[in-house]
Structure 1
């Protein structure tokens, strides 16, 4: 089976001591390609450097996370726009709104998001979106851009039924992570999984975070990695009551189309 992990934080320091081994385990687990997530200007540059090492299997985003929106300036916006024109960049982001932690002032989050949405429109790139406790406002903001955006995905969706339907009504894609494997806070996702159309569903690990709690044996330090995407997929397949092979084919085709990835070698 072939899988595509649409959200990997491969530049995180948790991978500094064994990044090549992490990638090898992913390839052997059937992960054919992955999207490396950028969350800052520096991160956007770093993921591009990693993509150069394996340009047919590693791709990335370019953008600024709402946690870092406090650093957003016109000059930073210009630099992100420049980096976003690189061949390895397949989406703008990770950008969005986070009203759960509020690491950046909300007005600054909104400004950074709107300018990145406009950049995606200008470059005709998809958007890789983050949202926590802000679905109503995010949906309202997206309405002003959606007709001009080629595609958009809610990365690591954790919201409720109302939020899911609001995103689907805007023809957005939905990314599901190991959150769905969490018996403490992910059971509602298990119930919602079957409501996501096959042509709108993609899978991701968000590694090194969100280790699937169903995974056995547990890895040291509970670090998540792309090879564990199959554990997420197994839970999603059970919730959707479909064969794992079918889910692999659907989500891989969906991700490849969304990010305009080349066929895997």
Structure 2
């Protein structure tokens, strides 16, 4: 099942153990499923480097982000900042992140998370690139830091959003976009997200698999891992929630991703 408008998957963790060595076949199946571009997510200096190297192997189709995830914030230092800055000078590296705050399990201390996040907000300001954002059980601190950053010109997407309708509305009013994963297809656990997506304007939504995680529950056949070829099922769930055709969702979300990440400026014609 494909659509006339190519889709954009804004979040794939090619560096994850589940996807190691699978990039060529994942990309081939994604193209067959009419996925027109993929954003490979960097969550550490090392994975940011490997994702950019992979993007160079698939120019005009694969792009990358560069950042340090809040789980790894205890290791943040000036060397990491310098290395990320160098990666972001590459046109194929189109966003700062994954960065943000995660107080759910506190793999890094909240103080170190805020320190690393603040530095990466400054990095986005210095490079002029958008933010690929993570917020889990940390809304108040995250929102306060983003409010100041947006006032300074920052823009970005809260990826893999799983929060409430009120939180989504607050982010949208602030000027941020919302990334929607297969969690929206989970009728048992995803009801809060489904309500949030239903009330979020289509011109502020992006599609993402967050592969290999969060496989869509509405997919007829699935492998043991999630992959970009499954993106259509997320678009279908959003279409059902908004009461529109899947093509309308595809067109809106693809335009949003082009706008935020500058894919059209890269010569990509989706």
Q: TM-score, normalised on structure 2?
A: 0.94
> 2:253 is matched with which residue?
251
1:261 aligns with 2:263: yes
Pick aligned residue for 1:106 from 102, 105, 110: 110
Q: Following superposition of structure 1 onto structure 2, how do residues 1-265 of structure 1 map, counting pairs within 5 Å? A: 1=3, 2-219=6-223, 221=224, 223-262=225-264, 263-264=268-269
Q: Which runs of 5+ in 2 are unaligned?
A: none
Poorly superposed stretches of 4+, deviation over 3 Å: none
How far the C-alpha of 1:152 sits from its partner, in A, is 1.1
Moved more, 143-152 or 252-261: 143-152
Aligned length: 263
Equivalent position SS for 1:208: coil
Contact 1:56 1:264 survives alignment (8 Å): no
Q: Match of 2:58, SS?
A: coil
Aligned mates of 2:234, 2:80 — CA distance in 1: 35
Alpha-carbon distance between aligned partners in 1 of 2:247 and 2:220, rounded to the nearest angstrom? 21
| Contact map agreement 1:4 1:255 (CA 8 A) in 2 | yes
Contact preservation (8 Å) 1:93, 1:127:
yes
Deviation for aligned residue 1:150: 4.2
SS for the counterpart of 1:94 is: strand
Secondary structure of 2:134's counterpart equals strand
Normalised by the length of structure 1, the TM-score is 0.96
Q: CA deviation at 1:163?
A: 1.1
Supply the distance in 2 between the matched residues of 1:87 and 1:14 (Cα, whole angstroms).
Answer: 28
Could you list the per-position Cα deviations for residues 53-100 of structure 1 after superposition, in whole angstroms to 9, with x for gaps in the alignment? 111010011000000101101121111111111111111000000000
Question: Unaligned 5+ residue runs, structure 1?
Answer: none
Contact 2:40 2:62 in 1 (8 A): yes
Asked if 1 retains the 8 angstrom alpha-carbon contact of 2:8 and 2:36, the reply is yes
CA shift for structure 1 position 184? 2.3
Contact 1:57 1:264 in 2 (8 A): no
Shift of residue 147, structure 1, vs aligned partner: 2.1
2:165·2:195 contact (CA, 8 Å) conserved in 1? no
The C-alpha deviation readout for 1:102-148, integer Å capped at 9, x for no partner, is 10001000000000000101111100000100111111111111122
Q: Is the 8 A contact 2:8 2:37 kept in 1?
A: yes
**How far apart are the structure 1 equivalents of 2:145 and 2:16?**
30
1:92 aligned counterpart, secondary structure = strand
